[in-house]
């Protein structure tokens, strides 16, 4: 047994961390948050140059053909630095779905553009709050055209294409590929908790669309896609956990009250100890899921759900307690605590929230 990333993978992680520390400080995240743009296109270009967008795309489609483990360590660093780029939607979700389920023509027309950072693809599934992504079936496909409305679409404002779930006349629930630059598509920015990663609503009005993947396979494809994305997301969340915990430690160590460092009070130290426990459990579960994904082990579905549940809980805990240990300053816009807290919110929901994943975990555990 060897339960650790390789030296090469750690090197990739170190380089990613160095690059992001220099080029993706939280001021960049704040610019997007303050409404400047949907993402930082300059940073996106640099990251493409580093090859991150090409990491897990096959070489024949312009990628580097590296494994998912390399993508995991990059995800952890993107999560740590709250980098505002459309990596999540395009790389974790869309690229994988196209690579695994797209036809040859779709792969050839989209994957090289994704690898080169020129094509942004979003996943559009949700239709109404309170309804799980797989249950959203109001959008209709008829005669090569799509009609309906999707909400809370990450990177939907800027994306070039969307992968959309919809139902046809035979009640088959399938995925469709839609070019968003057409008259039948209207999109709008939706106000949301974490405005550093904007969400969009997208209305399709007889928009031209083509099937992606097998007929009636939306649930199967999306379930697999979410399992896979859950692993990468748990690494982003892990990076965010570490950053918010470190932020709290650094602040309370140098802040004094009652004549002593705030970090020396047991009440504060025990909060950090509990953060550490939550982070280590999330880390271990994320590692296990990363391994299961990398070798496509039969334990992947349970491992992915476990990593996701653990990471959601850990990031919520670390980011909320980071505000708490900061005292009043933690509640100000000026301090960065809220950036992590808001990102924890976004990442907790974007591929199905805690409720759904806990249910997945249990049904997979019980083999139902």
Partner 1 sequence: MDFNDTEEQALFRAKAKSWLAANAQAKRQGLMAGNQEGRYQQAVDWYHKRYDAGFSCLTWPKEYGGQGLSQMYQVIWNQEVSHYGEPDEYFVIGIGNCGPALMTFASEEQKQTLLPRMARADDIWCQLFSEPGAGSDVAGLSTKAEKTGNEWKINGQKIWTSGAQYSRYGVILTRTDPEVSKYRGLTMFMIDLKQAGVEVKPIKQIDGGSHFNEVFFNDAVIPDNYRLGEVNEGWGAALMVLMNERLANATAAPDGFEDFLNWAKASDIDGVAATQDPIVRDKLATWYAQHAGVEATTFRMITAVAKGGVPGAEGSLGKLVGASMNQDIANFVIQQLDAGGQLTADESTPLDGHFQSAVLMAAGIRLAGGTDEIMRNIIAEQVLGLPQEPRADKGVAYKDIPSGNTGA
**256 strand-pairing partners:** 261
Least distance to partner 1 from the beta carbon of 187, Å? 35
Nearer to partner 1, 50 or 281 (CB): 281
Nearer to partner 1, 27 or 266 (CB): 266
Nearer to partner 1, 334 or 367 (CB): 367
Q: How many residues in total does the chain contain?
A: 368
Least distance to partner 1 from the beta carbon of 253, Å? 7
CB–CB of 99/61 below 8 Å? yes
Nearer to partner 1, 54 or 309 (CB): 309
Q: Measured between alpha carbons, how far is 89 from 229 in angstroms, rounded to an integer? A: 9
Least distance to partner 1 from the beta carbon of 24, Å? 25
Buried b (16+ CB within 10 A) or exposed e, 334-348: ebbbbbbbbbbbbbb
Nearer to partner 1, 59 or 250 (CB): 250
Q: Is 343 helix (H, G, I), strand (E, B) or coil?
A: helix
Q: Which token pair is 331?
A: 């509640």
Least distance to partner 1 from the beta carbon of 43, Å? 30
Question: Could you list the residues that contact partner 1 (CB under 8 A)?
Answer: 1-6, 69, 249, 253, 260-261, 263-266, 268-270, 272-274, 276-277, 280-285, 287-288, 290-291, 294, 297, 303, 306, 309-310, 313, 358-359, 361-362, 365-366
Phi, psi of 169 (to 5 degrees): -60, -25
- Put residue 263 in one of left, alpha, beta given phi > 0 → left and psi -120 to 50 → alpha: alpha
Least distance to partner 1 from the beta carbon of 1, Å? 6
Least distance to partner 1 from the beta carbon of 266, Å? 6
Nearer to partner 1, 191 or 259 (CB): 259
Q: Which token pair is 367?
A: 């083999």
Q: Measured between alpha carbons, how far is 230 from 161 in angstroms, rounded to an integer? A: 22
């Amino acid at each position: 047994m060897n339960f650790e990333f390789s030296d090469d993978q750690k090197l990739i992680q170190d380089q990613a961390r160095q690059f992001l520390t220099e080029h993706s400080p939280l001021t960049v995240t704040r610019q997007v948050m303050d409404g400047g743009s949907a993402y930082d296109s300059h940073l996106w270009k640099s990251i493409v140059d580093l090859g991150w967008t090409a990491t897990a795309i096959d070489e024949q489609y312009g990628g580097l053909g590296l494994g998912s483990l390399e993508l995991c360590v990059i995800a952890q660093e993107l999560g740590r630095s709250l980098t505002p780029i459309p990596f999540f939607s395009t790389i974790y979700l869309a690229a994988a779905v196209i690579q695994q389920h797209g036809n040859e023509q779709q792969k050839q027309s989209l994957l090289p553009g994704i690898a080169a950072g020129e094509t942004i693809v979003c996943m559009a599934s949700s239709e109404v709050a309170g309804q799980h992504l797989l249950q959203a079936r109001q959008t209709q496909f008829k005669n090569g055209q799509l009609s309906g409305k999707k909400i809370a679409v990450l990177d939907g404002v800027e994306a070039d294409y969307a992968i959309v779930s919809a139902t046809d006349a035979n009640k088959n629930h399938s995925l469709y590929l839609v070019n968003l630059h057409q008259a039948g598509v209207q999109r709008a920015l939706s106000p949301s908790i974490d405005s550093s990663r904007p969400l969009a609503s997208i209305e399709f009005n007889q928009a031209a669309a083509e099937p992606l993947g097998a007929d009636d396979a939306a649930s199967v494809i999306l379930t697999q896609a979410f399992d896979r994305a859950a692993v990468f997301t748990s690494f982003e969340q892990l990076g965010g956990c570490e950053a918010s915990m470190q932020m709290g430690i650094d602040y309370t160590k140098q802040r004094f009250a009652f004549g002593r460092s705030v970090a020396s009070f047991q009440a504060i130290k025990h909060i950090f100890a509990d953060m550490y426990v939550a982070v280590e459990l999330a880390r271990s579960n994320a590692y296990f899921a990363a391994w299961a994904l990398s070798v496509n082990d039969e334990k992947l579905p349970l491992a992915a759900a476990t990593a996701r549940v653990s990471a959601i809980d850990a990031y919520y805990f670390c980011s909320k307690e980071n505000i708490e240990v900061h005292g009043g300053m933690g509640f100000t816009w000026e301090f960065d605590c809220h950036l992590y807290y808001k990102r924890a919110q976004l990442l907790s929901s974007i591929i199905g929230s805690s409720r759904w994943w806990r249910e997945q975990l249990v049904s997979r555990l019980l083999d139902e």
